């Protein structure tokens, strides 16, 4: 197999040390890890970003490239599988230049189905059964709900004192994260650590500790210091990364029923619970009372890990 993974734009709002890695073992990008996990020793794969300049060989069979302009590049790599993360217009030319390749799309959020000019995909991956139903009504290609894992080379259990009852990690402000709802309504009795930029929704309360945006490596320790993770998002959110990350770190998660998620795959008696907005804090109280009874990491390893996700995608073709 010759795999090309089209990842997205090189981030411009980060310190280069946070996005440039010399060893694949240290890379904290889940998609980079997923692409690598799909490769057998005899395979070869590349992951491409646009908007920069970097060619780095992580392994004999895996290379990361930053390409200034996808529309103009005439790279001679001829993949037989292309996975397109996000369906950005910048990807269209690459897809059109490779008619021989089987093409797989994953978009999440508002782009859970292809919206740019190129739409001739062989497989579309989605996060929920409701998304699958919509895609199947619009496209004739295969559409499957898939496991979106964490970068479990980075996210794994560590021993730590439980300083917080709850971790809320919206990463960055967006109405779909329901920051205002959670921060203004969480009971005063619960110690909450908030990771990420919550913007105008920031509420000053004695039980809330704001730590701002943190790297994924640091986030592992934040999960370890917390009893429960929460994801109160609306239906605009699509398998937010807090869900697989917290489970990989052995922290159960409470998820809003509105989130686009393969619910019966991720959430069960071992991993956490699902609740309506109206019952969210009532269910959070119940989970905190029994948080030691959950076994999320064991379930994650058997059902949601990088290797499980990689093999699941490969079975589709």
Helix ranges, the chain (H): 30-37, 92-96, 129-138, 179-185, 216-224, 242-248, 263-266, 280-289, 296-303, 306-315
* Number of Cβ atoms within 10 Å of the Cβ of 279: 13
* DSSP class of 26: G
Mean pLDDT is lowest, of 21-30, 72-81, 127-136, 229-238, for: 72-81
Of the CA atoms within 13 Å of residue 75, those in its CB half-sphere come to 21
pLDDT score for 52? 86
pLDDT digit string (tens) for 81-96? 999 998 888 899 899 9
pLDDT score for 251? 98
pLDDT score for 281? 98
Dihedral Cα 265, 271, 272, 273, nearest 10 deg: 20
* 3-state SS, one letter per residue, for 128-148: CHHHHHHHHHHCCCEEEECCC
pLDDT score for 224? 98
β partners of residue 156: none
pLDDT above 80 for 226: yes
pLDDT digit string (tens) for 233-264? 998 899 999 999 999 999 999 999 999 999 99
Which residues neighbour 226 within 8 Å (Cβ) at sequence distance 6 or greater? 162, 163, 164, 165, 166, 167, 193, 251
Pairing label, strands 142-145, 123-126 = parallel
Euclidean distance between the first and final Cα of the chain, in Å? Answer: 11
Where does the pLDDT of residue 14 fall: very low under 50, low under 70, confident under 90, or very high at 90 and above?
A: confident
Mean of per-residue pLDDT scores for the chain:
94
pLDDT above 70 for 123: yes
Q: What is the pTM of this model?
A: 0.95
pLDDT above 90 for 173: no
pLDDT score for 74? 66
Rounded to an integer, what distance in angstroms lies between the CA atom of residue 35 and that of residue 116?
A: 23
Which residues neighbour 3 within 8 Å (Cβ) at sequence distance 6 or greater? 35, 38, 39, 43, 44, 45, 46, 79, 80, 81, 82, 83
| Domains contained in the chain, CATH given | 2-146 (no CATH), 164-301 (3.40.50.2000)
What is the token pair recorded at 50? 């646009």
Where does the pLDDT of residue 115 fall: very low under 50, low under 70, confident under 90, or very high at 90 and above?
A: confident
pLDDT above 90 for 172: no
pLDDT digit string (tens) for 158-169? 999 999 999 999
pLDDT above 70 for 26: yes
Rounded to an integer, what distance in angstroms lies between the CA atom of residue 114 and that of residue 38?
A: 23
């Amino acid at each position: 197999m010759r795999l090309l993974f089209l990842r997205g734009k090189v981030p411009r709002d980060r310190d280069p040390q946070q996005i440039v890695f010399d060893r694949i073992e240290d890379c904290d990008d889940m998609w980079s890890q997923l692409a690598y996990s799909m490769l057998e020793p005899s395979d070869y794969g590349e992951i491409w970003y646009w908007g920069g300049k970097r060619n780095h060989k992580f392994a004999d069979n895996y290379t990361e490239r930053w390409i200034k302009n996808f529309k103009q590049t005439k790279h001679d790599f001829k993949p037989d599988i292309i996975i397109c993360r996000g369906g950005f217009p910048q990807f269209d030319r690459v897809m059109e230049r490779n008619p021989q390749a089987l093409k797989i799309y994953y978009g999440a959020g508002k782009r859970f189905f292809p919206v740019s000019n190129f739409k001739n995909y062989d497989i579309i991956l989605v996060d929920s059964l409701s998304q699958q139903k919509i895609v199947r009504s619009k496209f004739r290609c295969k559409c499957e709900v898939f496991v979106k894992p964490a970068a479990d080379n980075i996210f794994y259990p560590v021993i730590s004192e439980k300083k917080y009852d709850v971790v809320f990690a919206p990463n960055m402000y967006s109405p779909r994260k329901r920051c205002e709802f959670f921060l203004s309504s969480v009971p005063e009795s619960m110690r909450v650590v908030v990771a990420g930029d919550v913007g105008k929704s920031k509420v000053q309360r004695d039980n809330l500790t704001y730590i701002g945006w943190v790297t994924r490596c640091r986030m592992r320790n934040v999960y370890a210091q917390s009893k429960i993770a929460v994801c109160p998002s609306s239906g605009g959110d699509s398998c937010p990364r807090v869900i697989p990350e917290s489970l990989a770190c052995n922290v159960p998660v409470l998820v809003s029923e509105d989130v686009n998620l393969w619910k019966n795959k991720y959430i069960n008696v071992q991993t956490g619970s699902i609740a309506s907005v109206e019952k969210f804090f009532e269910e959070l109280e119940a989970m905190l009372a029994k948080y030691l009874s959950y076994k999320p990491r064991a379930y994650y390893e058997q059902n949601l890990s990088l290797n499980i996700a990689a093999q699941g995608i490969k079975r589709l073709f």
